[in-house]
Amino acid sequence: MNGTGIKKHPDSMVWGKKDLSARAKCFDMTSGRKIVVLNEEEAIENDIYPSYRVMVENAGKQTVAIANLSRDLVKRGEIGIYVEVSEELSLHDGTMVRLRQMDRPSAIEFIKKKLDGKEIGENEMKIIIADLMDNRLSEAELSAFITAMYIRGTTDNEVVYLSDAIVESGDVLDIQRHPIVDKHCIGGIAGNRTTMLVVPICAAAGLFMPKTSSRSITSAAGTADTMEVLAPVDLEIEEVKEVVLKSHGCIVWGGGMNLASADDRLIRIRHPLSLDPKGVMLASILAKKKSVCAEYVVIDIPVGRGAKISDPKEANSLANDFISIGKRLGMKIEVLITDGSDPIGCGVGPALECRDVFDVLEGKGPSDLRDKSCQMAGVLMELCKKVEKGKGYAVANEIISSRKALSKFREIIELQGGNGKVKR
């Protein structure tokens, strides 16, 4: 025991220190990430300091956690375990676990490299994201990464490398059908529920559109929140494949699947900092499109007072970035710079926005929502050469007028587990 409550194992050596064992003290609370608590005096005796990484092992399972130190919360020979770690390793009070100090992550050197204004290489970016996914980086180190990208900016190469690394961090939704289309709006406009119209229009036209959407972050409702009024949106990846193969489209919550999972972790760092580096934002959006194997994408950039972007020059610059980087990632992208000075549609909030969608699909208003949706769906049909250039809008409009889009939307609702016969 070497005079402490922590037993040292003789068979392993990291940083010149031997592996350790301690008794689990499980806390019935979450910490937001993988954190363990060690007795301060005992940890320092074993050269473990705050924010050091430790490998925690039990019965063949292991995970990396950040070490916090406490004088009173845990006794010598104990390790405090939050829910995130106890559930992953199947730990209970009193379970003996094995600890091992981890080497300093190499990703830290690459983050410092970016802080110095140098370009991060492809393999270096992969290591940063891999260390992020393995919980080897502290929040301070991840904050430094985001800050470096914000202050120093990003090259096109770095955006491509980050996009690819984010895609590789999760699963890929590959339905092995063509053409696969997708859309994205950078947000900031109330209403604007175009996704729930573009998907059934494109699906009715024979295109495949596995649309993953977000929940509300700053607005009254996100697309996933609005669709959830009609059908479940938290589907497993195999369920999504089944829906899309049968109906050609879906509208699901992206967080319900393990797609581009590193992006969710980066978002959790960006939001408290109120930093949204352009390169990270581009990589985030394009990685999500690549994770569903999208080939043709339309991007909506609303511009105007109150929108996320108010300067047309900034919008044009961003549009060019989407097009050029998308091409390098294997996607053909067209960008629509639209009027973002007013809300789109009549309703604000999930239920009222659903009503707007059904009004349009049934041939009624609001006209601005119908017009914008037909414009976006038309562009997608033209991009993949489903229709001739210049005829996409008219074809999309006819799909609504013929009620083919309404029929397709009800089919998607039914396949996702909702009531396809729902009335307005």
Each residue's pLDDT tens digit, 234-263: 999 999 999 999 999 999 998 878 899 999
* Structure tokens, 281: 């934002």
Asked which of 71, 101, 131 is the last residue of a domain, the reply is 101
Query: What percent of the chain has pLDDT above 90?
Result: 74
Residue 161 covered by a domain: no
Please give the residue that has the higher pLDDT: either 60 or 192: 60
Residue 160 has pLDDT above 90, yes or no: yes
Domain extent for 121: 107-153
Residue 1 covered by a domain: no
CA distances from 264 to 104, 133, 154 (A): 24, 10, 20
- At residue 6 the predicted structure's pLDDT band, cuts being 50, 70 and 90, is very low
Cis omega (within 30 of 0) for bond into 105: no
- At residue 124 the predicted structure's pLDDT band, cuts being 50, 70 and 90, is very high
Which amino acid does the sequence have at 37?
V
Together in a domain, 22 and 138: no
Please give the residue that has the higher pLDDT: either 304 or 256: 304
Residue 267 covered by a domain: no
Q: Which CATH number is 76's domain given?
A: 2.40.40.20
Together in a domain, 74 and 114: no
Residue 313 covered by a domain: yes
Kindly report the backbone phi and psi dihedral angles of residue 89, in degrees, each rounded to the nearest multiple of 5, phi listed first: -100, 5
Together in a domain, 195 and 66: no
Each residue's pLDDT tens digit, 260-294: 999 988 988 888 888 889 999 999 999 999 999 99
Residue 217 has pLDDT above 80, yes or no: no
- At residue 219 the predicted structure's pLDDT band, cuts being 50, 70 and 90, is low
Residue 124 covered by a domain: yes
Please compute the mean of the pLDDT values over residues 153-177 and round it to a whole number.
97
Cis omega (within 30 of 0) for bond into 366: yes
Together in a domain, 369 and 327: yes
Please compute the mean of the pLDDT values over residues 114-120 and round it to a whole number.
98
Please compute the mean of the pLDDT values over residues 3-20 and round it to a whole number.
47
- Candidate list 276, 342, 359, 371, residue with the active-site label: 276
Please compute the mean of the pLDDT values over residues 335-356 and round it to a whole number.
89
Together in a domain, 85 and 144: no
Q: Which CATH number is 300's domain given?
A: 3.40.1030.10
- Cα(301)–Cα(110) distance, integer angstroms: 32
Together in a domain, 148 and 247: no
Together in a domain, 349 and 374: yes
Together in a domain, 302 and 398: yes
Together in a domain, 370 and 406: yes
Please compute the mean of the pLDDT values over residues 379-389 and round it to a whole number.
97
Highest mean pLDDT among 187-201, 286-300, 331-345: 286-300
Which amino acid does the sequence have at 195?
T
Residue 212 covered by a domain: yes
Its sign, for the CA torsion 139, 140, 141, 144, is: positive
Please give the residue that has the higher pLDDT: either 144 or 32: 144
Together in a domain, 401 and 363: yes
- At residue 216 the predicted structure's pLDDT band, cuts being 50, 70 and 90, is low
Are the C-beta atoms of 331 and 297 separated by less than 8 Å? yes
Taking alpha carbons only, the member of 357, 133, 110 closest to residue 230 is: 357
Residue 129 covered by a domain: yes
- The lowest-confidence range among 103-112, 154-163, 303-312, 406-415 is 303-312
pLDDT at site 20: 86
Q: How many angstroms from the chain centroid is the CA of residue 121? A: 23
Residue 175 covered by a domain: no
Asked which of 101, 122, 144 is the last residue of a domain, the reply is 101
Together in a domain, 75 and 17: yes
pLDDT at site 3: 45
Number of domains within the chain: 3
pLDDT at site 282: 97
Please give the residue that has the higher pLDDT: either 244 or 350: 244
Asked which of 101, 120, 137 is the last residue of a domain, the reply is 101
pLDDT at site 104: 84
pLDDT at site 135: 83
Together in a domain, 132 and 230: no
Active site residue 47: no
pLDDT at site 127: 97
Residue 7 has pLDDT above 60, yes or no: no
Mean pLDDT for all residues in the chain: 91
Residue 18 has pLDDT above 70, yes or no: no
Residue 365 has pLDDT above 90, yes or no: no
Please give the residue that has the higher pLDDT: either 120 or 10: 120
pLDDT at site 14: 35
Residue 210 has pLDDT above 60, yes or no: yes
- At residue 220 the predicted structure's pLDDT band, cuts being 50, 70 and 90, is low
